[in-house]
Amino acid sequence: MQDDPKTLVSTDWLAAHLEDPDLRILDASWYLPGTDRDPKAEYVSTHIPGARFFDIDEISDLRSDLPHMVPPVEKFMSRLRAMGVGDGHQVVVYDAAGILSAPRVWWLFRLMGQEDVAVLDGGLPKWLAEGRPIEDMPPVVRDRHMTVRRQNHLVKDVTQVSAASKLADTTILDARSAARFQGEADEPRRGLRKGHIPGSLNLPYPELLTEEGTMKAPEALKAAFEAAGVDLAKPVITTCGSGISAAILSLALERVGHRNHSLYDGSWAEWGAFPTLPVATGA
């Protein structure tokens, strides 16, 4: 793969830069409710040297009833400052699933105007499989100021997505499984209707990954988008269950050079909970 410190870097790249003074590594591991895994406890016992833990559920807007919504700018700045992450740093984000939740944090940094951030391709599983160094020690942290310039065009709310659904001028692309998208499988969160946003397309995020858990090459990504019916000349809104795996689609779009994309933060956790919003089923 071609390393790009603004989107995706390999384990070789990270290993070569591990001692760089301005490198900051974030463990952004997260799991769906009911998986019985504790990402924070796993981080404490095993992480890439120097990594800080980025708690997706805590670094969010806790005033919202929806899960891990985008945090207020001030909260993001204060949490990252406390982690010693700020201006002038190259950030690399990984997760313990391979590529699942790390792209969400990559997208969140981009939303906050930070561009020197990349996802570790293959994540912790690939790093461990290659026998690379790990530790269980907390990093030494020094405060670092972060300048935030929120890029509002990168996020969409329910009103904007509803308008896009009606006007059909933007592709709404859903990262959930085909069974969930078609309304044939229950949602992992209770109380949500089954189905998808009318007019949206389905590209389950595993189709963007190789069998080894790395992201496919840009040519293969482009083929996957086209096979799902995506017109890469049009704007794209990515969505999923709660705004996590949608960011995998966003990262893949960035990898193929598609810049006009945004993420529906509330995703199906919001749309599926509102009885007044239309729902479609089937393919």
Sign of CA dihedral 118, 109, 272, 235: negative
Set 240, 249, 252, 263: catalytic member: 240
Measured at the CA of 122, the angle between CA 260 and CA 56, to 5 degrees, comes to: 65
Instruction: Say which amino acid occupies 233.
Output: A
> How is the chain classified by DSSP, letter by letter?
---BTTTEE-HHHHHHHTT-TTEEEEE-----TTS---HHHHHHHSB-TT-EE--TTTSS-TTSSSTTPPPPHHHHHHHHHHTT--TTPEEEEE-TTSSSSHHHHHHHHHHTT--SEEEETTHHHHHHHTT---B-SPPP-----------GGGEE-HHHHHHHHHH--SEEEE-S-HHHHTT-S--SSTT--SSB-TT-EE--GGGGB-TTSSBPPHHHHHHHHHHTT--TTS-EEEE-SSSSTHHHHHHHHHHTT---EEEESSHHHHHTT-TTS--B---
Hey, what are 270's tokens?
Answer: 């919001």
Exposure on the CB side of residue 165, measured as CA atoms within 13 A: 23
d(C-alpha 23, C-alpha 85), whole Å = 9
Q: Is 240 a catalytic residue?
A: yes
Catalytic residues: 240
